[in-house]
Amino acid sequence: MSFLQTIKSVDFYRKLKKDLQQELTEASITGAALSLVAAVVMIGLIVAEFSSYLAPLTESKVILDHFESSVDDTLQINFNISFPHLKCEYASVDATNFMGTHDAGLAARVSKIRLDEKGKVVGKHEDPKKEPKHTENAKHEGPETSLGLNTVNFEAKHHQYDVMIVNFFAPWCHWCQKLAPVWEQSAKALGEKHTDDNLLVLAKVDCTATESESLCIKYRIDAFPTILVFRKDDSGTTQHESYHGERSVKAITAWADHFVAQEKNQVPKSRTVDTNKDGVADSHTGIGCMISGLLHVQRAPGMLKIQAVSESHDFNWETMDVSHIVNHLSFGPFLSESAWMVLPPHIAASVGALDDRSFTSDQHVPTTHEHYVKVVRHEVTPPSSWKVDPVTSYGYVVHSNNIQKEGEVPTVRLNYDILPIVVNFQEKKQAFYHFITQLCAIIGGVFTVAGITASLMDKGLGAIRRKQELGKSAEQEEEEEE
């Protein structure tokens, strides 16, 4: 019995005896109101805490990136960029790092798709294995046999001949000077072979002449020489195929004969012609180019450069337009659908921060587009209950700028810098004991604050009542004295 009495002596929560509760405690309207308010506050806080307990917590930390093997020293770059006004024949892609090292095998991992003026796919472009041959030291004796065109007679001649093949040139162009005698000899040979006056004609346009400059602007001639094919039944939206074959009398006349055969229905009509059957088209349509590729680069500052390059053309840089649309740019392996679901929204948005953005060059002003990209590695670890492996992604921020300078070669430069840090994101749930602790804090805190408030209110109301009673007694005394 003494043991039970000892245990009772440490009771922290002693109670009033039932027969004394009525005498020692008293209910009030104020206390009841505070109790209801405290109950509502408790319920609201408990619901909010329970919601917070169910929601996952995200912790982030930044650590220095380190490479465990030589394989980790490289990073994959995925890109897809459309150029509405840069032909695939001239589009060149080069990758280099800050040490000046070039990626020699880049061309094999880059594909080019020809686009029409509306950006629709025309066909896949295959770069020739070698530049077209030129007839060296060719000479043409006698009068010029090709037809000279300008803005005055162009449209009339266009619809006069079934097929009109036009050489757009500039007198200062080295390659145009080499082609000029070959072109005249080809025009003479074809004129003698096809005596029908309105069947076929070879013509030329001087893009530096005042009376023909607008023609070269209309047909976006920015490489010399450019050879285009015009037909009598062309409409305003017709795509004119351009010639990129061998520049010799034999090759040009054989190519032109193919169009004559088309007009005579001897062969099917087509705007893609491969005269020598070597698998590379001598002429085809397409005024734009979509360039896509996948390459591995060292984890060091570097640059991806796209510009017009040709060993058989001279360019007019003032009219060269490298406006482009970045369809996609990302770093690292492609992510699966489940991986995208794991990534937080702000990280997912940074993976393709440059996607679907357009950059436009000003007309007749050489414009270079610079993109500065800072790449950061993210590692996201989902809660263990998800049973999903951690996801590694590469996000980036980008700043773009245009450089307009006379004499500048219009270029798109993608400068990237892969930062040697890793941002770890880990999602985990709140511990259950922490949730219970918070519940106890809510109940005890609200109960204590409500009790203090009730005590203060009782004391305040008591003081007011005492003042009122003193005032009344003072009035009664004054009345009695009177």
pLDDT in tens, 409-427: 899 999 999 998 999 988 7
pLDDT value at position 2? 66
Does pLDDT of 292 surpass 60? yes
Instruction: Report whether pLDDT(465) > 80.
Output: no
> Which one is catalytic: 176, 207, 216, 289?
176
Output the pLDDT for position 271.
75
Question: Distance between CA atoms of 365 and 344, rounded to whole angstroms?
Answer: 42
Where residue 102 falls (left for φ over 0; alpha for ψ -120 to 50; beta otherwise) is: beta
- The answer to whether 361 and 390 have CB atoms below 8 angstroms apart is no
Percent of the chain with pLDDT over 90: 39
pLDDT given at position 13 = 63
Q: To which H or E segment does residue 235 belong?
A: none
Token pair for 223: 């490489």
Helix (H, G, I), strand (E, B) or coil at 204: strand
207 is a catalytic site residue = no
Which of 67 and 459 is assigned the larger pLDDT?
459
What is the DSSP track for 29-73?
A: HHHHHHHHHHHHHHHHHHHHHHHHHHSPEEEEEEEE---SSGGGG
Written in H, E and C, the secondary structure of 352-409 is: CCCCCEEECCCCCCCEEEEEEEEEEEEEEECCHHHCCCCEEEEEEEEEEEEEECCCCC
Q: Look at residue 245 and tell me whether its pLDDT is greater than 70.
A: yes
216 carries an active-site annotation: no
- Residue predicted with more confidence, 444 or 195: 444
Quick one: tokens of 137?
């030291």
Q: Which residue has the higher pLDDT, 23 or 289?
A: 289
Look at residues 434, 424, 425 and name the one whose alpha carbon lies nearest to residue 57. Answer: 425
pTM: 0.78
Tokens of 287: 């005024």
> Are 393 and 422 a contacting pair, CB within 8 Å?
no
Q: Once rounded to an integer, what is the mean pLDDT over residues 164-175? A: 94
Average pLDDT of the residues in 152-175: 93
CA dihedral 170, 175, 177, 179 (to 10 degrees): -110
In angstroms, how far is the first alpha carbon of the chain from the final one? Answer: 72
pLDDT at 207 over 80: yes
Distance of CA 231 to the CA centre of its chain: 39
Q: Which amino acid is at 417?
A: D
- Catalytic pick from 173, 207, 216, 289? 173
Joined tokens for residue 222: 């920015």
Could you read off the pLDDT of 29-69 as tens digits, one per residue?
A: 777 888 888 889 989 998 998 888 887 777 788 888 876 66
Alpha carbons within 13 angstroms on the beta-carbon side of residue 361 total 27
Kindly report, residue by residue over 2-22, the tens digit of the pLDDT.
Answer: 667 677 666 666 666 666 666
pLDDT digits (tens, 9 = 90+) for 77-127: 999 999 999 999 999 998 888 777 666 556 558 899 999 888 899 988 887
Helix axes 249-263, 174-193, angle to 10 degrees: 50
225: nearest Cα among 157, 310, 160: 310
